[in-house]
Structures are given as structure tokens and as C-alpha cells.
Amino acid sequence: MSDREQFCTFHLGQLFLGVRVQDVQEVIRYQDLTRVPLAPATVRGLINLRGQIVTAIDLRKRFGLPDRSAESLPMNVVVRTDDGPVSLLVDEIGDVLEVSGDLWEAPPETLSDDARALVRGVYKLEGRLLLELDGVRALEPVAAS
């Protein structure tokens, strides 16, 4: 673990999560989605990002959280992958945080099984935990629910 890591942070329900800054292409407001027939429930749809078609993954579904209300629009954290950009739909964007590697710990047993499968580890910050999202696992296909 290096001395310091930078994370793009966001909220998903009561969870405070982060993705390594170097994996983030950009953060954008809600974009209209085009549904994909027969896609897994985690694939919320496709967005048009300046002419590029990007898959939007609903992290609430991946974490086993209830759907957000109809009037609550998600934000997009667009991450880089080997296959091109993918949008992670989140509730609210946080800040970029720099944290010490000394604060890292394995995911706690108190997390749900869904969350534990998607989190690399946690950083104990003052008054809260920053859960480091495992971007590869978060983007793995999941059977429709």
C-alpha cells in the first residue's frame, strides 16, 4: 500500500465510497438513459457521452440497496476500463480525498455480503469509513433480478 491514495468519493444511501482518482474519467450530472432490453437489472441503460455510447451501471442494485425515489436523479461517475468508459450511477458526489495507506483495513464483517463482495477495503477516517470500491467487481455482469 503506498503512503497516500486519492479517491473520488460519492454517497450511495448511507454508504460513503471512493474510486481511485486515476480510474475516473469524469463526473457528470444525470444524463438521459436509453434502456437495454434483456440486460441484467444492474445495467440501468446507456448514456450518450459526447457521441460515445457508455453503459450505466446502477450501484444501488449492485449493493442490494432499495431503488432511489423517482424524483431523485443519480449522478454519473465515469470510470475508465479496458473496454472503454462505464458510468457508475451514484446518489451524490463527494470530494476528492487524499488518505494515508496506514488507515486501510479489510472490509468489516458488519457490511452486507453484497457490499463485502464489491469493496476492496476501508479507510478509517475521522467520524466515518471510506469504502474503497473494487471497480472490476462492480462492473462484472450480474444475472437479472
**Tens digit of each residue's pLDDT (9 = 90 or more) over 77-124:** 999 998 899 999 999 999 999 999 999 999 988 888 888 889 999 999
**Tens digit of each residue's pLDDT (9 = 90 or more) over 9-50:** 999 999 999 999 999 999 999 999 999 999 998 999 999 999
Judge whether 132 and 119 are in contact, CB under 8 Å. yes
Judge whether 46 and 58 are in contact, CB under 8 Å. no
Judge whether 9 and 18 are in contact, CB under 8 Å. yes
Which distant-in-sequence residues (6+ apart) come within 8 Å of 94 by Cβ? 8, 9, 10, 11, 16, 18
Of residues 62, 55, 45, the one with CA closest to residue 116: 62
Average pLDDT over residues 50-69: 93
Spacing of C-alpha 120 from chain mean position: 12
Report helix, strand and coil shares of the chain as percent, to nearest 5. Answer: 15, 50, 40
Residue 31: phi and psi, rounded to 5, are -120, 145
Domain ranges for the chain: 4-137
pTM of the model: 0.90
Q: What is the CATH number of domain 4-137?
A: 2.40.50.180
